[in-house]
């Protein structure tokens, strides 16, 4: 496993992070979930990403239990705040940030998180209030650093312009071979300000593993076949996309890589990406994904990937 520095922070994290969206405390059975976490540490993953809203606290509670007894300094722990935890608990107001960080820490069984992230931008709270509250969370020692997920460039810049507040060290956008939009503005802006990218859905909800084939019913044990986990996959499962992805198979085979390893190596080719978050339901998936760390793809391979996937990419990503 290779490691990279997260933005201008002093956090050194594995090139792959273990995520818990839709899986732990929810769609994956407890024994399998525990096995995935243990396997992550076995293969050198030291970065765990979660959020308070995952399973309405269930993912954090699960991680708090499974990480209990493990040296806290041996891993980097990240969580998030924004989405509704109840009809009255949501957003990035100062009151919510202070309430939710305390609740997250209690569930996680720790005194601090290494990274506290705004899960989305809150248009209903003044940015100054949000940033001041996040600064207080850091000053209180409850979080070492702060980040954001899926903020627009103007929102990122507005936060950077505020004086006397904690600065972001991380951005968490969706990014994959099939979803390249952050390359246009978010990546360059963040790079200029020492903000690293922790990308989510690098395997496009599993589509880039090649297990979903056009016109074929999804495997019974797959995310697409699980009603608890497949709510975000409809666009990715069009025949146009699935057919293009199947054409990546010969490229992966020629490099002696799995499809997942090819997709993750493609992500990590960009040094602006600090880590890619994987979501695994079986420990074998964790081990397979981890083997992508350190894989170098030639310019010829990258060009062939672009050619093969061109029919599946949005028009903006082809230009």
Sign of CA dihedral 199, 200, 204, 206: positive
Catalytic entry in 3, 8, 24, 54:
54
For this structure, is 212 an active site residue?
no
* Cα angle for residues 64, 69, 70 (degrees, 5° grid): 85
- Half-sphere exposure of residue 97, counting CA atoms within 13 Å on the CB side? 26
Token pair of 258 as six digits: 């799995």
Which runs of E-coded beta strand occur in 157-307? 168-171, 196-199, 273-278
- State how far the alpha carbon of 246 is from the alpha carbons of 33, 124, 135, 213, 288, in Å: 29, 43, 47, 7, 19
Token pair of 67 as six digits: 């990480």
84 and 53 Cβ atoms separated by less than 8 Å: yes
162 and 239 Cβ atoms separated by less than 8 Å: no
Query: Residues with catalytic annotation?
Result: 54
């Amino acid at each position: 496993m290779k490691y990279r520095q997260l933005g201008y922070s002093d956090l050194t994290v594995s090139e792959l992070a273990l995520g818990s969206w839709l899986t732990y405390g929810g769609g994956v059975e407890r024994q399998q979930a525990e096995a995935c976490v243990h396997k992550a540490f076995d293969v050198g993953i030291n970065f765990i990403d979660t959020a308070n809203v995952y399973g309405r606290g269930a993912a954090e509670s699960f991680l708090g239990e499974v990480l209990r007894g493990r040296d806290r300094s041996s891993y980097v722990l990240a969580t998030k705040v924004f989405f509704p935890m109840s009809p009255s608990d949501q957003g990035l107001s100062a009151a919510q940030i202070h309430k939710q960080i305390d609740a997250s820490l209690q569930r996680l069984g720790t005194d601090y998180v290494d990274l506290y992230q705004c899960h989305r931008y809150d248009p209903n709270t003044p940015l100054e209030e949000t940033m001041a509250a996040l600064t207080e969370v850091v000053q209180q020692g409850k979080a070492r650093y702060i980040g954001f997920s899926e903020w627009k460039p103007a929102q990122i810049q507005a936060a950077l312009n505020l004086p006397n507040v904690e600065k972001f060290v991380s951005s968490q956008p969706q990014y994959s071979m099939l979803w390249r939009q952050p390359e246009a503005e978010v990546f360059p802006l963040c790079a200029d300000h020492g903000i690293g990218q922790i990308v989510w859905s690098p395997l496009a909800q599993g589509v880039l593993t090649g297990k979903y084939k056009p016109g074929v019913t999804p495997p019974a044990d797959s995310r697409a076949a699980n009603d608890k986990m497949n709510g975000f996959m409809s666009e990715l499962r069009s025949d146009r996309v699935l057919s293009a992805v199947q054409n990546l198979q010969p490229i992966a085979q020629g490099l002696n890589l799995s499809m997942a390893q090819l997709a993750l190596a493609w992500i990590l080719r960009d040094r602006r990406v600090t880590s890619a978050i994987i979501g695994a339901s079986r420990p074998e998936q964790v081990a397979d994904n981890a083997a992508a760390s350190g894989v170098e793809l030639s310019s010829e391979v990258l060009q062939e990937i672009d050619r093969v996937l061109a029919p599946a990419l949005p028009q903006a990503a082809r230009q």
